[in-house]
Amino acid sequence: MTDTYAKIANGKWTSALFKMLNLPQPVTLTRFSHGSDLISGRLLIGAATNSDLIKPIIDTFNDAELAISYPNSTLELANLNEQFNNTLLSATPISLNTMSKLDKFNGIVFDASGIKTSKQLSALHRFFQPVIKQLSKCSRVIVLGRPSEHLEDVSYATVQRSLEGFCRSLAKEIGKNGSTCQLMYAQAGSESLLNAPLRFLTSTKSAYISAQVLNVKPGAIHGTVNLAKPLQGKTALVTGASRGIGAAIAETLARDGAHVICLDIPALKMDLDKIAHRLKGSTIVADITSDDAPTIIAEFVREISLDIIVHNAGVTKDKTLARMTNYHWDVLMDINLSAMERINERLLSDNLLNQYGRIICVSSMSGIAGNFGQTNYATSKAAVIGYVNAMQKPLAEKNITINAVAPGFIETKMTAAIPFTVREAGRRMNSLKQGGKPIDVAEAIAFFAQPQAAGVTGNTIRICGQSLIGA
């Protein structure tokens, strides 16, 4: 769907007027197309004194075609000379306070795990204040810390939790430039698993994700790492795969090497067959709410093995609560929540989801912030988040991860039918001042599905450009 406003706002003859009137001018986001998914250009890596995640950070970018710099040490900032000298990575020390306007960065990664007292929070200011204005368009900022709930020291836990407020605020300051900021919490023992999430968040695949907190936990990577085709040899099932976001998910998983089983209702069989044929995948024609749906799916995957399941199928049936019938409530809850529970229960009880498998659920911003006329929908999508959180521990025993995405305003045929004024408000009410695309949701799901994302479980990531609504 064309964003006419964005075209006019950035037009050759109109952009100056929009700037003078201080109207939003959405930056065209740099998204992945082919080749390396990492951002290109210049990367700045820094750390607070006594931070201990710098080694996995450096290891992540060992093979990257990036010009890497790091700051000269100060009272608040760590001396990284030794760390860089012990690697094959070529990096240049710089003085943060003597940079010229020509010094631009496409990415910034900062290890804040060494910040343990409120006084030491000054490291955030000393590092970021001189460099944040040096960011190029569509840049990435990543801050790493330790999860406060796993820290016994009160001061340490307090300041590590404060990183969330810092990152969310910074994301709002740089969003107008098409840039994003994320926070990664690394639980003790997860250090060897930081590569994949750090690569994803500094890549062009995370273009519409901002101000998110990604928790990384101990886990086990199974199999060899294939950056070009991370899902090679895997089989994935995607519900609601015939069109829109579901079709984009299927296409992206296939692009990354997976054999995709596309599932949708009989009424959409023609569309389903088209996408499965194009992707050289398989189809299951079924209504996920039917009594025999779990059996149909179980018997199909029993013969070919299953590594990944994406619960994308869902509906809206909007009514204010006072006008909502039993039908509007019960049917929606069955499609959006109960069917997912029944399918998972059958696959897991029959051991049909392989060890090291991946379960990815689709929630919604409505499940986080609520929405007028959507008490049923918001309830179901909030329940999906609760389900992901509750299932992470029992699934960990089989090395299966479970995560969710919560899309905001995504440009689809459904949102194209929204009245103009409401649609424009939905597009602009985020830090990036634009709607997302189905591929943005699909890229996050493809990341969760990777074998290398073994330490990422129990997360719900918003795909919303940092919506101004919700936490």
Shared domain for 178 and 279, answered yes or no, is: no
How many domains does one find in the chain?
Answer: 2
The CA distances from residue 392 to 148, 395, 398, 443, 464, in Å, are 19, 5, 10, 21, 24
Shared domain for 198 and 240, answered yes or no, is: no
Report the alpha-carbon distance of residue 339 to residue 313 in Å, rounded: 10
Average pLDDT over residues 303-320: 96
Q: What is the pLDDT of residue 122?
A: 98
Shared domain for 322 and 420, answered yes or no, is: yes
CATH code, domain with 419: 3.40.50.720
Greater confidence (293 vs 3) lies with 293
Shared domain for 155 and 49, answered yes or no, is: yes
Angle between helices 244-255 and 269-279 (to 10 degrees): 20
4 inside domain: no
Query: Is 90 exceeded by the pLDDT of residue 33?
Result: no
* Model-wide pTM > 0.85: yes
- List, in sequence order, every beta strand (DSSP E) within 231-324: 235-239, 259-264, 282-285, 306-311
The pLDDT mean for the chain works out to 94
157 inside domain: yes
Shared domain for 156 and 108, answered yes or no, is: yes
Whether residue 115 contacts residue 160, with contact meaning beta carbons closer than 8 Å, is answered with: yes
Report the alpha-carbon distance of residue 70 to residue 59 in Å, rounded: 15
Provide the 8-state DSSP code for 48. Answer: B
Shared domain for 309 and 394, answered yes or no, is: yes
Determine which helix (DSSP H) or strand (DSSP E) holds 153, and give its type and residue range.
Answer: none
Shared domain for 322 and 404, answered yes or no, is: yes
Greater confidence (368 vs 419) lies with 368
Domain boundaries, position 184: 22-216
Burial of residue 129 (number of CB atoms within 10 Å: 0-12, 13-18, 19+): exposed
469 inside domain: no
Shared domain for 42 and 189, answered yes or no, is: yes
Of 82-91, 283-292, 355-364, 398-407, the one with minimum mean pLDDT is: 82-91
Q: What is the pLDDT of residue 419?
A: 76
The token duo for 150 is 């796993």
Q: Catalytic pick from 5, 356, 377, 387?
A: 377
Write the pLDDT tens digit of every residue in 429-463: 999 999 999 999 999 999 999 999 999 999 999 99
Shared domain for 298 and 427, answered yes or no, is: yes
Neighbours of 377 (CB within 10 A): 23
Name the pLDDT band for 351 (thresholds 50, 70, 90). very high
Write the pLDDT tens digit of every residue in 329-348: 999 999 999 999 999 999 99
Name the pLDDT band for 127 (thresholds 50, 70, 90). very high
Query: Is 70 exceeded by the pLDDT of residue 88?
Result: no
Query: Is 90 exceeded by the pLDDT of residue 217?
Result: yes
Name residue 327's amino acid: Y
468 inside domain: no
Q: What is the pLDDT of residue 101?
A: 85
- Indicate if 327 belongs to the active site: no
Average pLDDT over residues 264-277: 98
223 inside domain: no
SS3 42: strand
CA 445 to chain centre: 7
Shared domain for 118 and 255, answered yes or no, is: no
Shared domain for 244 and 209, answered yes or no, is: no
Average pLDDT over residues 276-291: 98
Greater confidence (1 vs 273) lies with 273
